[in-house]
Amino acid sequence: MLPPLDQLLSECETLHGHICPGQVLGARMAVTGCRLIGVSDPRGADKKNLLVWVEIDRCMTDAISAVTGVRLGRRSLKFFDYGKVAATFLNLETGTAVRLAALESSRALAERLYPNLESKKERQMRTYHSASDNDVFKIESVNVLLKDQDLPGRPRGRVSCSRCGEGINDGREVCAEGGEVLCRVCAFGGYYGTIRQVSP
């Protein structure tokens, strides 16, 4: 079972380095998501049954990781850079999945609920901590497009890019014209451009 929210927030603060509205949202999102998909012990007995997709690289993602124990390195945490304060929780055992997204209206709710608090941060944290799930989140049952090579565990396959020679795991390669096998960077461009090769 998950500990009480205040204890979880203390754990989030330790991992993240501070407590903030995003941490409170992420912790609430994780608790609610796990409850809705029937995962009661995500860091223990249920840890192999939980996959989580996050849609932003901000504070709430650290909170979700702290509360649930999901990690990129374990392949139980997936990241899509959509810029949204949202996450999807999947119970691998039952196939049940829900997506939670923070409601923009919850910011205005914080102003209405706690107008006497001087700090906007404090108004938001109190609201995100105590308001109902429906006042804080848009909640949807969803189907997740999950391939075998997206599951945790050992790589399902490995090939080398025919241009750069780097290894590619789990079906992330691109087959170009003529059957050439490419990494996505060689096929489409990447976030970096090579200046020169460096010797260690």
Domain boundaries, the chain: 5-150, 155-200
pLDDT tens profile 44-89? 999 999 999 999 999 999 999 999 999 999 999 999 999 999 999 9
d(CA 70, CA 29): 14
Q: With 90 as the cut, is the pLDDT of residue 9 above it?
A: no
Q: With 90 as the cut, is the pLDDT of residue 197 above it?
A: no
Which are the contacts of 115, defined by CB distance < 8 A and separation ≥ 6?
123
Topology given in CATH for the domain delimited by 5-150:
60s Ribosomal Protein L30; Chain: A; (3.30.1330)
d(CA 63, CA 12): 5
pTM for the model stands at 0.90
Residues 136, 33 contacting (CB under 8 angstroms): no
Query: How high is the pLDDT of residue 2?
Result: 81
